[in-house]
């Protein structure tokens, strides 16, 4: 659970509402909400295949739920497995694969146990890593698109409001309120883009980079394990992926 | 048929019209439409070769019609063909090639049947994949250009309207309506760009990425098939291209 | 002759003039034209070496004149030459090289006739292809710079006009006309950028991509020819560069 | 200590305050500060994982503290070590490694002393260099995000202020002050982005590039040292990384 | 001496002053100049390391002084040296190296005379070419940053002016002049960015590309010379770097 996403959205919205103060009811205009929210949804149907749009709820949930393994934990696990292999051979991993939570690691180990060629294992894992990253980037991509189209629909709504207002300026006292309503769609678009969609896209990208790092560690670890490298050397290699102060050796 | 494109455009336009309400007639100004639509078409003739502009209708239709094979179906088909090859040899594919709908796959298989070198097959398919992707990106590119030039023509129209209005301010009551007409070209440009051209460019890019993935699967599958790999290993490799929950093995 | 460039510019300018209508004289303000056109030229002298600026006229003319060979014609020619080589040997091309209009192809064939190493021919042609593309991109680059600096000079002109107007607001009736003149420089900058420079940059890029494709076809064709490949196989390879519906085989 | 960061911020803020003059109190509006500063912090919680946000203080401190070794000093040190190796063998470095301040260099030398394969040393150092640069870029990345979201929150605040003002225009004399307060959030966002976050991001990127250069020098030096190259040749190679006027040879 | 830089700046500024006409004194407001110029300098101290900022004067001077050798002259020289080598051996270059103005070429030749391995010469020259280009790009980079921060400081100054004006609207006749002064900082920022910094950054990039091309020619030439290639073949290779109409063969 990525509690920060929730805290951040609540904080930012809370502060905006605090700034509005008692005027909140006048900031809620259903037709304006309809044109910005509905229009953005319409545009996203034009811009993405149906199944991607349907997957959008899952993508948004991911910004709240994303779980990435800790690099240190993954390295400890790989070093331990490497010691098992050194002592009892690769087949000794058979009984352990089931307990491994990380699917990418268990797939790689299973291939090693099955005796597939090191080069093949590397190719398959590398390709899979690549595709996982592509899928995550697709999620960030559609959120960025939402963050671009929402302000555009906001601007379109404001243009509609301005044109309507300008065509009917006989009552000067109505100009202010008409213009304030015209600005509301721009306001909605800015809120949606800058507090929800664009920061969420940022989180998916940041999380994806973290996951890629974990996958690189696993890939390097399995290569080392299959090559029968000394667990100390393997650990030294893997710790290089972490920032110096996070490195803890199992051999110290 | 990509029904989502149609639904999205109708929804977004419908909501804009709903927001305008009874004022719709005043939002239709033929000279303003002429300068934005006609000007954008003129500019696109400057920016692209004639034959590309002529192909524009086809490109736009593609956003409604684009058909991409399902990754799972393609894998099932390749695994089946691989089993045929294992049992009866590569020439047994001869009778099957005609039934294959995907041109890229049938071309690759035909080369395999003709006994061309694996390296040559790979080179030709890889190059063809590259060129197909280039052609699709060219479509997305011209739609993006339309999405950039339409608002520019809209702004030019608004500048014309503003200058005309400012030179003739003797009658204050005409300022509002004049300005509202001046804003209409900006409005048209924003509609064209944000509801039609830019989202359509997005759809072409998304579809092209999906098709590239399918081509990568086919290319890997044919390499595996020509190399006489075990169908199980081949399937394992190919399923790696799909997200985990879409993977269904023919051997389970 | 790329007639589309001319048609596009005339159409877009014509529609802008039609939108202005009888007010055209009031849109022509020589000092404003001087600051935008002259200022943009000045800035381009700062931004590019003298010889590049001098070559600008040639670059602009290219957007009207650019001639790119047809891919189909180039393939037909290469296949024919390949058949000649098969029958009479590479030296039989000697008498034909003079008739080849495409300089890139004739240079490559001349090297083949001179008996240079296939690897050297490939290196030299590849490097030359690269440099041709660099030179074309430099043309698109300077036009893009013009399309960026022209609106900037327009904005600077408008700021000058606004400051002058604001310092002298004693006569309210002069505000409108003063402001309209201030806006003219923004208008000129927008016209120059969006109807001339940016679309022209687009055309050079599009043409350059087409030419690169032709060069890739020629390079692949000459490699195949030097390697003595079967003309059918060569044609099959080369047709892969074209979209399916443009492919016509000489052997059907 | 990078004193320039402090001087720059103080200078830029000082000049803005000087321009405001005696009006400073009217530029301090706590609710406006709250919405921009608090909102930006909220958004950054949505956009980045919790541990990255927590590390933000350290990242900002780095723009004041960043220490990069001088290229000339590193080269002198490497050449000296190379002479030691030539005379007394690689193990003679053992007593010296402890004195080396640069962690990257001491790690590389330790591996050389431990007798690891040159290829392995290269791989590990190269990977570590890559990861260090990734971590620094992440710091620049989050500062750039802050520099993007702060003006967005400023604009949202201004929209809130404008809508509130427009809904309540009965007292014309209050319009000016209301609008001035509405503009304050835009002002705060612009200050935060352009004087603090974006320039700080620039400094981290510039520093990171300098550090990468130093790491490249160290990597090349250790390769040369392990290969037992002549110290003069090694120095010649390494000096090529520096601008000509900074190159000083130990052999002149 | 790159006279075009000076001519361009004088022309663009001259035209702006001409557009201002007799109002020039009212466009000079020392506090506004101080906030934009001083603020931009302050920000650049935050964004770049001290030694880079100190080198800024040299970078700006380079846009006036940059000297790039002519490609044709460099090729002629290399071909001539190649003929000397063919006749009298590589050591015959010893007496000539001193006369070579281009440092990159003389360094490469000196290494060849010293009998270093062709692969080493290539590596060292390639790396040096890379670093020279990095250093030039750093110059273009800081000028681009100045061109981004100057308008930002201009906008900050205008916001200060607007807020001050809006808080004090009791005297309507002062609104115009106050607003005009507020706009001056935007005007200064636009001038600095669009007439000085951004075009200068463009010139450094253009010059750097030209120099890279010259270095590529020299690198290819020295490779050919060390490999003892025929001077005619060498010339043919090198001329491929130039546009067709600039190619002049020494053998015609």
Look at residue E32 in the predicted model and tell me its pLDDT. Answer: 94
Q: Which residues of D touch A243 (CB under 8 A)?
A: 131, 135
Query: C120-147 pLDDT, tens per residue?
Result: 889 889 988 998 888 889 999 999 999 9
- In this predicted structure, the answer to whether residue B39 has a pLDDT above a threshold of 80 is yes
Give A37→chain D minimum CA distance, Å. 17
Q: Which residue of D has its CA nearest to E135?
A: D243
Cβ–Cβ below 8 Å for B159 and C186:
yes
Rounded to an integer, the average pLDDT of A161-180 is 85
Is A185 touching D (CB cutoff 8 A)?
no
Residue A191 token pair: 């809120």
Reported in sequence order, the residue ranges of chain C that DSSP labels E, i.e. its strands, are: none
Is D162 touching E (CB cutoff 8 A)?
no
Rounded to an integer, the average pLDDT of A46-67 is 88
Cβ–Cβ below 8 Å for D8 and E43:
yes
Residue C162 C-alpha from the chain's centroid: 37
CA dihedral of B85, B86, B89, B93, whole degrees rounded to 10: -10
Spatial distance between the Cα atoms of A188 and A193, rounded to a whole number of angstroms:
9
Q: How many other CB atoms sit within 10 Å of the CB of residue B51?
A: 9
Cβ–Cβ below 8 Å for B49 and C4:
yes
The residue that leads in pLDDT, B64 or B1, is B64
pLDDT band at B142 (very low <50, low <70, confident <90, very high): very high
Spatial distance between the Cα atoms of B126 and C155, rounded to a whole number of angstroms:
48
Which segments of chain D does DSSP mark as H helices, in order? Answer: 3-20, 30-33, 39-47, 50-54, 56-65, 71-88, 94-97, 103-113, 118-166, 175-191, 198-226, 231-239
Q: Is the Cα dihedral E234, E240, E244, E245 positive or negative?
A: negative
* Sole residue written with tokens 């049947």: B113
Question: Is the Cβ–Cβ distance between A39 and B12 less than 8 Å?
Answer: yes
Look at residue E2 in the predicted model and tell me its pLDDT. Answer: 83
Of the given ranges (A50-64, B92-106, B112-126, C164-178), which has the lowest mean pLDDT? C164-178
Proportion of chain E in helix, strand, coil states, percent, rounded to 5: 85, 0, 15
Q: CA-based angle D228:D231:D236, to the nearest 5?
A: 120
Instruction: Note the maximum CA span of chain D.
Output: 91
pTM of this structure = 0.93
Reported in sequence order, the residue ranges of chain E that DSSP labels E, i.e. its strands, are: none
Is D127 touching A (CB cutoff 8 A)?
yes
Instruction: Note the maximum CA span of chain A.
Output: 91
Spatial distance between the Cα atoms of C223 and C226, rounded to a whole number of angstroms:
5
Query: E83-133 pLDDT, tens per residue?
Result: 999 888 888 888 888 888 888 999 999 999 988 888 888 988 998 899 888
Spatial distance between the Cα atoms of B133 and B141, rounded to a whole number of angstroms:
12
CA atoms within 13 A on the CB side of A251: 11
Look at residue E184 in the predicted model and tell me its pLDDT. Answer: 96
* Sole residue written with tokens 């600096």: C149
pLDDT band at B115 (very low <50, low <70, confident <90, very high): confident
Residue A44 C-alpha from the chain's centroid: 18
Is A141 touching D (CB cutoff 8 A)?
no
Residues, chain A: 252
Three-class DSSP category at D69? coil
Rounded to an integer, the average pLDDT of E177-196 is 94
Cβ–Cβ below 8 Å for C15 and B42:
yes
Q: Which residues of C touch B169 (CB under 8 A)?
A: 173, 176
Look at residue B68 in the predicted model and tell me its pLDDT. Answer: 80
Give E153→chain D minimum CA distance, Å. 8
Query: D117-158 pLDDT, tens per residue?
Result: 888 889 889 988 998 888 889 999 999 999 999 999 999 999
Is B113 touching C (CB cutoff 8 A)?
no
Spatial distance between the Cα atoms of C134 and E242, rounded to a whole number of angstroms:
11
- Mean confidence (pLDDT) of chain E: 90
Most confidently predicted of A198-202, B178-182, E107-111: A198-202
Q: Which residues of B touch A167 (CB under 8 A)?
A: 23, 26, 176-177, 180
- In this predicted structure, the answer to whether residue E154 has a pLDDT above a threshold of 90 is yes
Nearest residue to A56 via CA among A149, A161, A179, A153: A149
Look at residue B237 in the predicted model and tell me its pLDDT. Answer: 87
- Mean confidence (pLDDT) of chain D: 90
Rounded to an integer, the average pLDDT of D60-76 is 87
Spatial distance between the Cα atoms of A176 and A173, rounded to a whole number of angstroms:
7
Look at residue B154 in the predicted model and tell me its pLDDT. Answer: 97
Is E230 touching C (CB cutoff 8 A)?
no
The residue that leads in pLDDT, A68 or E59, is E59
DSSP-assigned letters across all residues of B183-227? HHHHHHHHHIIIIIIHHHHHHHHHHHHHHHHHHHHHHHHHHHHHT
Give, in order, the Cα–Cα distances in Å from D249 to each of A222, C116, D76, E60.
Answer: 45, 44, 8, 29
Residues 6+ apart with CB under 8 A from E67: none
Residue A183 token pair: 């600005």
CB nearest to B39's CB, from C4, C12, C26:
C12
Per DSSP, A25 falls in state G
Look at residue E38 in the predicted model and tell me its pLDDT. Answer: 96
Q: Which residues of D touch E45 (CB under 8 A)?
A: 4-5, 7-8, 11
- Mean confidence (pLDDT) of chain A: 90
Nearest residue to E220 via CA among D179, C60, C130: C130
Count A/D contacts: CB-CB distance under 8 Å.
144
Are chains E and A touching, using the cut-off of 8 Å on CB pairs and a minimum of 3 such pairs? Answer: no
Look at residue A175 in the predicted model and tell me its pLDDT. Answer: 84
Spatial distance between the Cα atoms of D60 and D201, rounded to a whole number of angstroms:
9
Question: Is the Cβ–Cβ distance between D231 and E78 less than 8 Å?
Answer: no
Question: Is the Cβ–Cβ distance between E125 and D170 less than 8 Å?
Answer: no
- Mean confidence (pLDDT) of chain C: 90
Rounded to an integer, the average pLDDT of A53-70 is 86
Look at residue A168 in the predicted model and tell me its pLDDT. Answer: 80
Look at residue E48 in the predicted model and tell me its pLDDT. Answer: 94
Which burial class, exposed, middle or buried, applies to B57 when counting CB atoms under 10 A from its CB (0-12, 13-18, 19+)? exposed
**What backbone torsions phi and psi does residue D229 show, to the nearest 5 degrees?**
-70, 155
Rounded to an integer, the average pLDDT of A71-78 is 93
Cβ–Cβ below 8 Å for C244 and B103:
yes
Cβ–Cβ below 8 Å for E39 and D12:
yes
- In this predicted structure, the answer to whether residue E6 has a pLDDT above a threshold of 90 is yes
Query: D116-126 pLDDT, tens per residue?
Result: 888 888 988 99
Spatial distance between the Cα atoms of C244 and C240, rounded to a whole number of angstroms:
8
Q: Which residue of B has its CA nearest to C5?
A: B46
pLDDT band at E5 (very low <50, low <70, confident <90, very high): very high
Look at residue E173 in the predicted model and tell me its pLDDT. Answer: 80
Q: What letters, b where the CB count within 10 A reaches 16 and e where it falls short, cover E100-127?
A: bebebbbbbbbbbbeebeeeebbebbeb
Look at residue E247 in the predicted model and tell me its pLDDT. Answer: 85
- In this predicted structure, the answer to whether residue E205 has a pLDDT above a threshold of 90 is yes
Is D166 touching A (CB cutoff 8 A)?
yes
Spatial distance between the Cα atoms of E33 and B69, rounded to a whole number of angstroms:
63
Query: D75-125 pLDDT, tens per residue?
Result: 999 999 999 998 888 888 888 888 888 889 999 999 999 888 888 889 889
Question: Is the Cβ–Cβ distance between C141 and C47 less than 8 Å?
Answer: no
Cβ–Cβ below 8 Å for D39 and A206:
no
Task: For chain C, list residues with pLDDT below 50.
Answer: none
């Amino acid at each position: 659970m990525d509690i920060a996403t929730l805290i951040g959205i609540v904080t930012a919205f809370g502060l905006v509402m605090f700034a509005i103060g008692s005027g909140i009811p006048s900031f809620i205009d259903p037709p304006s909400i309809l044109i910005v929210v509905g229009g953005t949804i319409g545009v996203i149907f034009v811009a993405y295949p149906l199944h991607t749009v349907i997957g959008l709820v899952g993508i948004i949930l991911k910004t709240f739920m994303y779980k990435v393994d800790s690099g240190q934990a993954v390295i400890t696990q790989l070093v331990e497995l490497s010691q098992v292999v050194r002592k009892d051979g690769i087949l000794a991993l058979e009984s352990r694969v089931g307990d491994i939570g990380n699917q990418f690691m268990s797939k790689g180990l299973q291939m090693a146990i099955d005796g597939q060629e090191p080069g093949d294992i590397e190719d398959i894992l590398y390709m899979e890593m690549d595709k996982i990253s592509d899928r995550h980037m697709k999620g960030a991509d559609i959120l960025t698109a939402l963050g671009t189209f929402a302000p555009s629909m906001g601007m379109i709504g404001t243009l509609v409001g301005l044109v309507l207002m300008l065509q009917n300026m006989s009552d000067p006292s109505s100009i202010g309120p008409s213009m304030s309503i015209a600005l509301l769609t721009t306001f909605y678009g800015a809120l949606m883009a800058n507090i929800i969609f664009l920061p969420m896209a940022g989180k998916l990208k940041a999380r994806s980079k973290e996951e890629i790092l974990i996958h690189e560690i696993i890939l390097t670890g399995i290569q080392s394990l299959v090559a029968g490298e000394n667990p100390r050397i393997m650990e030294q290699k893997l710790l290089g992926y972490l920032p110096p102060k996070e490195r803890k050796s199992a051999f110290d």
